[in-house]
Structure 1
Amino acid sequence: MDLFLSKLLPLFIYPIGLSCLILMVSIGAILKRRSRLGILGISVAIAILWVSSSGGFSTWIVRSLEKQYLPGEISQADAIVLLGGATHSQLPPRPWIEVSEEGDRVLYTAKLYRENRAPLIIPTGGRVEWKGPGSAEAEDMATLMETMGVPRSAMILESKALNTYENAVNVKAILTERNIDRFLLVTSATHMPRSMMIFRKLGMNPIAAPTDYWKTDREANLTSFESRILNLLPDADNLRDTNRAIKEYIGIVIYKLKGWA
């Protein structure tokens, strides 16, 4: 139930959900002949959607997370911890496992392994039962990496965790059992700040290896007339990115309140 509520309640804080709530209240106000309040609410809802789907705001809020951990020289380690959330199970009509927007995590982990950055990979991620059938994220990621030349013998799967905190707790047990202290942590750049907080809170000291950057330096520095006009207009992709960034900030707040980060 906690997992379900953690997925449900933020929906009413994200731009679309919040705007829909405000619109419903506004319509109710208009029906009760409180037109001024209703018009104000509708204006606020439109403003929320417009701003959150604009390129300027989306780039700003996403980069506020991504810039906290920028790519750097990756040093040698004893293991690579790969956080889940990057795959979709092979369910009809999918012909095989598919990667999500965060699939760069899997590609980057395989690349680091082939570069001999670490001899061991720990893919971590389970399966939420109420979402229906499917294999664990860790299993799907391992299968994908095998096709990229990573032997199954070089992987230890953690397939029970259902959130980032459980990822960290379960991975810590594996690392402790194998006396591993130095490890790379691979996840999306927007997810890295929360992930590092959690792992450090549990007494671990991961080396951040972020990937899956949504906003590039070039996109942030476009100054042409055309790009400025487009950045002011609503766009579904920008709204998606804003939504994901807000999700991370909500996660940070909730995890801190729970003492997890």
Structure 2
Amino acid sequence: MEFWFGKIFWAIFAPSHLAVLLLIAFGFLDFPGWMRSFFISFAAFFLWMMMIFPLGDWALLPLEQCEENVQLPLTVDGILVLGGILDEEPSVTSGDAQFNSAADRFIGMLRLMKNYPQAAVVYSGGSSSVKFPDFHEADAIQRVMDSIGIDSGRVIFENRARNTMENVERTQALFSAKPGQNWLVVTSAYHLPRALSLFRAVGQKTHTSFYPYATDFKSPQRFRPEFTFDLPNNLAKLDMAAKEYVALVFNRLVGRSHEFMPCGMKEERL
């Protein structure tokens, strides 16, 4: 139920969608003149600002730099890679895995597997698609590894998680098997605050510590007070950032996490 609610909510309230919906609603429906003028002007001004300024980069920057100064542990017991690196429809229709802009998570996994040969490795990813619910990303990644000669036998593939909370729920038995372990969470840099806040809240129960491994940075890692004239890219990045902030607030309000932004937190065993 929550999965579907999230899809419907974000289809309406993603900043780019909301701006267009406001333009349509107040442009064609019968609202009082002052109200119509106000909201049309507001939506048009928002789109104009997004065309000129890199608001998406500015919104992503705090998320991507949240965990940049955290020191990794000397001993790594497990590597947990979060899915979301394949374009589902092209992967299904072509019959072959089609990577998206988050593919650096896969590269990060391979790098960490080499650096920590004794660590357990878990890849968690099902289908986040409403159109292709039977697609299992983890299975597709396993086939990719086998096809290029990488030993997939070392990796535990969890193929049902549809979102970040389900990543936590469906891997909990694996990272909680031995209390007191250190695990690396591999995901996109902007997604790390949300993922870590959820994993750490659950990990406290088993004294499991989670550390960030950031991949595929989307922003230039510096504040840029400049004109960009790139509306599609700016809108996409703002939608991306807004989703993370909304999810961080929601998870904190419902008690799934113990902090809004876990920036620079040093894990302490309870």
Q: TM-score, normalised by structure 2?
A: 0.82
Q: Aligned-pair distance for 1:53? A: 4.5
Cα 1:221–1:2 shift into 2, 3 Å: closer
Deviations 1:43-93 (A, max 9, x none): 10012223344443122101011010227765441111000111135322x
Which secondary structure state, in structure 1, belongs to the residue aligned with residue 21 of structure 2?
A: helix
On the 8 A contact 1:69/1:208 being kept in 2, the answer is yes
Aligned counterparts, 1:94-109, within 5 A: 94=94, 96-109=96-109
Find the counterpart in structure 2 of residue 170 from structure 1: 170
Give, in whole Å, the separation in 2 of the partners of 1:256 and 1:153.
Answer: 37
Deviations 1:112-137 (A, max 9, x none): 11223653210012235742265312
Give the number of equivalent residue pairs.
Answer: 250
Q: How much identity, in percent, do the aligned residues show? A: 24
Give, in whole Å, the separation in 2 of the partners of 1:185 and 1:88.
Answer: 21
Which secondary structure state, in structure 1, belongs to the residue aligned with residue 219 of structure 2?
A: coil
Cα 1:257–1:221 shift into 2, 3 Å: closer
- 2:260 maps to 1:258: no
Aligned counterparts, 1:101-250, within 5 A: 101-116=101-116, 118-128=118-128, 130-132=130-132, 134-147=134-147, 150-177=150-177, 181-202=181-202, 203=204, 204-217=208-221, 220=222, 228-229=226-227, 231=228, 233-250=229-246
- 2:87 maps to 1:88: yes
Q: TM-score, normalised by structure 1?
A: 0.84
Which secondary structure state, in structure 2, belongs to the residue aligned with residue 195 of structure 1?
A: helix
Q: What is the identity, as a one-letter code, of the residue corresponding to 1:50?
A: W
On the 8 A contact 1:14/1:247 being kept in 2, the answer is yes
Cα 1:88–1:27 shift into 2, 3 Å: closer
Deviations 1:216-241 (A, max 9, x none): 23xx3567xxxx33x3x342111111
Give, in whole Å, the separation in 2 of the partners of 1:123 and 1:244.
Answer: 22
Give, in whole Å, the separation in 2 of the partners of 1:245 and 1:91.
Answer: 28
Give, in whole Å, the separation in 2 of the partners of 1:76 and 1:117.
Answer: 11
On the 8 A contact 1:71/1:210 being kept in 2, the answer is no
On the 8 A contact 2:50/2:231 being kept in 1, the answer is no
Gaps of 5+ in 2: 258-270
Cα 1:198–1:222 shift into 2, 3 Å: closer
On the 8 A contact 1:188/1:213 being kept in 2, the answer is yes
When structure 1 is superposed on structure 2, of 196-205 and 70-79 the one drifting more is 70-79
